[in-house]
Structures are given as structure tokens and as C-alpha cells.
């Protein structure tokens, strides 16, 4: 991606980012396509999960959003099994505790509880209590997706995007991210915007990218805030606006994004007093309405081109 020549920014500092989360847990990788999941092999599947996964297993009402009208009932069969699995996963790690966690997730999953199905997929990819099995993980993610469970759509999109356990397929990733985005999953909205932005699996459309980045940015996703600011700085998909670029970079910076802080330092000298005052007022307004998101990993991506 070209640098922002008009501002004389330090080159490379404004490459847009991609938000990455893997199956009910935060990870720094993407994933890939279904049809022949077994072709990829188990060794690759085990690399799909983050070491921090046990800290972010799927809980209803915690790090997951579901489509309207399709949220699992609080008393649904399998919920207590899922909670017991989470408790086991968060205990001091041993082969025994990981096996116990997987067993509880499987009980909940077989009772049809979507969060347990997603967590079982995670445990299956991680190889908890059995060799990693990408095909089984995909099966349980699809079962959760059939219930309209938004995180399952997102996780499937991640799998297809990276080609983790399956063949990489950006079009399939787009399809699942779109379903997750329409089910109000902010991480899926962010990545859907990124696919539109980069023209991966869909015709490049930066107007659409800006729409989805904005939805995720307003939900508190820091990567989306950074990327939307970058669009405003470049005038891509939106009318160029120094004030809005500065405001969104500032929102991202207040969530701890170091690259956004760099962009603020680079951009500030190019705003006049009126623009800077407007940008700071906008930033305060945006900060008050955009709560930080605990749903996504803060992962930076380079250029796909």
C-alpha cells in the first residue's frame, strides 16, 4: 500500500491492519477452507491456536456476540458442562486438566450448546487429550454456525482466510465474515472491511470497507479505528478529512495502539488550529461512544499485495 505522500509521514507507518482471533480465543493467526479439511494434516492444525487460548474460551455474554433471536438460553442444556470445561482449562495446565476440559466441552457440544461447540473446536485444534483434528474442529464450528452463533462464523472465516487445517480460500472467508458481521460480531465486521479494503475474495470496494470499519470502530475494535483513520487520511472510500483521521487515530491511541500514536505525531503538524480543535472535540465524542473491545486480538498485518 502506498504511503501517505501528502503528509510526508514516515514511510510504512500507515499500512492497514487485520484483526485476528481464532476460535473462541485470541490468536495471532488466520485460517482457511473446508471441502478437504483432512488434507492439511494434524500437525498444521495444532499451530492454529494461541498459547493464551484457555484464558479466552467462549462464554455466553462475555467475549461472544450472537445474532438477534438466536442466543442460547441461559438454562440451555450444555451450559454447565461448558462452564466446567472453562474452569478445567483455566486450572494449572497438565495433560489431565486439558483432557478434562475437552471432555466437558464435548458433553456440552453434544447437548447442542453453541459456546461448548466452539470451545470443543478450539480444544480439538489444540490437541487437548487427542491428536489435533482440523476436520472435527470444522464440524463443531459448523454445528455452532447452524445455530446462528456469530463467533462460529467469525472463526470459520479465520480458518478459511489462513488456510489453517484447510485450503486457503478468501471467498469462503468473506462469506463467513459477512455472516458474522451481519450477526453483529465486531471482529467479523473488522475483517470484512479488511477484505473489501484489500480486494481479497471480493472486488475491492473501499466505500464498503469504510462502512464495515466504522461499525467495528464504533464497537471499540482498535484495528478498525486505525484503519478507518487511515482511509480518512488518504481519502480512500471516504472524503479526505484531516480532522476525522486525527480523531480516529486518537481513539485508537487511547486504547494503547502504538502505531496510532506515531500517526498522531506525524499528522498533528499538518493540522491548523481550527482543524486540531475540531479533531480533539471529535475524538472526545468518539471515545465516549466507542467502548474498548475485549473480543479481538491486537494483531498488526502487513500488506497482502
pLDDT per residue as tens digits for the range 162-187? 888 889 999 999 999 999 999 999 99
C-alpha pair distances (Å), 113 with each of 125, 215, 269:
19, 28, 54
Give the tens place of pLDDT for each residue, 10-42: 223 346 767 654 443 322 222 222 222 223 334
256 and 134 in a common domain: no
Q: What CATH number should be reported for the domain holding residue 78?
A: 1.25.40.10
76 and 125 together in one domain:
yes
pLDDT band at 292; cut points 50, 70, 90: low
CB atoms within 10 A of CB 8: 11
pLDDT value at residue 253: 93
42 and 163 both lie in a single domain? yes
Select the more confidently predicted residue: 245 or 77: 245
Report the SS3 class of residue 22: strand
Domain co-membership, 172 together with 250:
no
The span from the CA of 148 to the CA of 157, in Å, is 14
Question: Does residue 198 lie within any of the structural domains?
Answer: no
Asked if residue 175 and residue 66 are part of one domain, the reply reads yes
pTM of the model: 0.76
pLDDT of residue 33: 20
- Nearest alpha-carbon partner for 19 in 164, 187, 215, 226: 187
Residue 276 region, left (φ>0) first, then alpha (ψ -120 to 50), else beta?
Answer: alpha
Q: What pLDDT, in 10s, does the model give residues 36-65?
A: 222 333 445 555 665 444 445 655 433 322
Do 166 and 44 have their domain in common? yes
- Of 123, 153, 184, which residue constitutes the final position of a domain? 184
Alpha-carbon distances of 204 from 179, 196, 262, 276, rounded to whole Å: 19, 5, 27, 32
Over residues 191-241, the pLDDT tens digits come to: 999 999 999 999 999 999 999 999 999 999 999 999 999 999 999 999 999
Which residues form the domain of 221? 5-19+207-289
Spatial distance between the Cα atoms of 149 and 121, rounded to a whole number of angstroms: 14
pLDDT band at 245 (very low <50, low <70, confident <90, very high): very high
**Residue 191 included in any domain:** no
Closest residue by Cα to residue 298 from 5, 21, 65, 6: 21
Same domain, 125 and 92: yes
Strand partners, 167: 33
Q: Count of H helices and E strands in the chain? A: 13, 0
Distance CA 201, CA 91 (A): 40
One domain for residues 144 and 216: no
Phi-psi domain of 201 (left: phi exceeds 0; alpha: psi -120 through 50; beta: other): left
DSSP track, 241-266:
-HHHHHHHHHHHHHTT-HHHHHHHHH
Do 232 and 155 share a structural domain? no
Q: Which of 247, 287, 288 is nearest to 271 (CA)?
A: 247
Is-contact 118 141, C-beta < 8 A? yes
Taking residues 69-79, what's their average pLDDT? 60
- DSSP annotation of 27: -
Which one-letter DSSP state was computed for residue 298? -
Domain annotation covers residue 294? no
Q: What pLDDT, on a 0 to 100 scale, did the predictor assign at position 80?
A: 92
Does 110 share its domain with 44? yes
The last residue of one of the domains, among 184, 216, 249, is 184
* Predicted local distance difference test score (pLDDT) of residue 200: 96
- Average pLDDT score over residue span 63-70: 31
Percent of the chain with pLDDT over 70: 70
Report the pLDDT value the prediction gives residue 42, as an integer from 0 to 100.
42
Report how far residue 44's alpha carbon sits from residue 67's, in angstroms, rounded to the nearest whole number.
31
8-state DSSP, 72: P
* Residue 282 resides in a domain: yes
Same domain, 170 and 237: no
In a domain, 81, yes or no: yes
- How far apart (Å, rounded) are the C-alpha atoms in residues 155 and 239? 33
Does 199 reside within a domain? no
42 vs 149: CA distance, rounded Å: 26
Same domain, 168 and 48: yes
- Give me the number of domains the chain comprises: 2
Residue 27 lies in a domain: no
Asked if residue 305 belongs to a domain, the reply is: no
Contact 224, 19 (CB under 8 A): yes
Q: What is the pLDDT of residue 52?
A: 44
Amino acid at each position: 500500500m502506498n504511503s501517505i505522500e501528502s503528509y510526508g509521514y514516515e514511510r510504512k507507518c500507515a499500512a492497514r491492519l487485520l484483526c485476528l482471533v481464532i476460535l473462541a480465543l485470541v490468536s495471532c493467526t488466520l485460517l482457511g477452507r473446508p471441502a478437504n479439511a483432512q488434507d492439511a494434516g494434524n500437525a498444521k492444525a495444532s499451530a492454529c491456536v494461541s498459547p493464551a487460548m484457555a484464558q479466552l474460551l467462549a462464554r455466553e455474554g462475555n467475549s461472544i456476540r450472537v445474532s438477534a433471536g438466536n442466543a442460547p438460553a441461559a438454562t440451555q442444556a450444555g451450559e454447565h458442562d461448558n462452564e466446567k470445561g472453562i474452569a478445567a482449562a483455566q486450572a494449572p495446565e497438565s495433560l489431565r486438566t486439558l483432557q478434562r476440559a475437552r471432555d466437558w466441552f464435548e458433553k456440552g457440544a453434544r447437548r447442542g450448546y453453541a459456546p461448548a461447540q466452539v470451545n470443543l473446536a478450539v480444544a480439538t485444534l489444540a490437541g487437548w487429550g487427542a491428536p489435533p483434528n482440523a476436520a472435527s474442529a470444522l464440524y463443531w464450528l459448523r454445528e455452532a454456525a447452524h445455530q446462528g452463533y456469530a463467533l462460529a462464523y467469525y472463526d470459520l472465516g479465520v480458518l478459511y482466510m489462513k488456510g489453517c487445517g484447510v485450503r486457503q480460500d478468501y471467498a469462503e472467508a468473506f462469506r463467513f465474515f459477512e455472516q458474522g458481521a451481519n450477526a453483529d460480531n465486531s471482529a467479523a465486521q473488522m475483517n470484512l472491511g479488511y477484505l473489501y479494503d484489500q480486494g481479497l475474495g471480493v472486488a475491492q470496494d473501499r466505500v464498503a470497507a469504510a462502512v464495515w470499519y466504522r461499525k467495528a470502530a464504533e464497537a471499540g475494535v482498535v484495528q478498525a479505528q486505525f484503519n478507518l483513520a487511515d482511509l480518512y487520511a488518504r481519502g480512500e472510500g471516504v472524503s479526505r478529512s484531516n480532522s476525522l483521521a486525527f480523531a480516529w487515530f486518537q481513539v485508537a491511541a487511547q486504547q494503547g495502539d502504538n502505531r496510532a500514536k506515531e500517526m498522531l505525531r506525524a499528522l498533528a503538524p499538518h493540522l491548523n488550529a481550527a482543524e486540531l480543535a475540531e479533531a480533539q472535540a471529535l475524538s472526545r465524542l468518539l471515545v465516549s461512544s466507542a467502548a474498548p473491545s475485549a473480543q479481538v486480538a491486537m494483531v498488526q498485518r502487513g500488506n497482502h499485495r
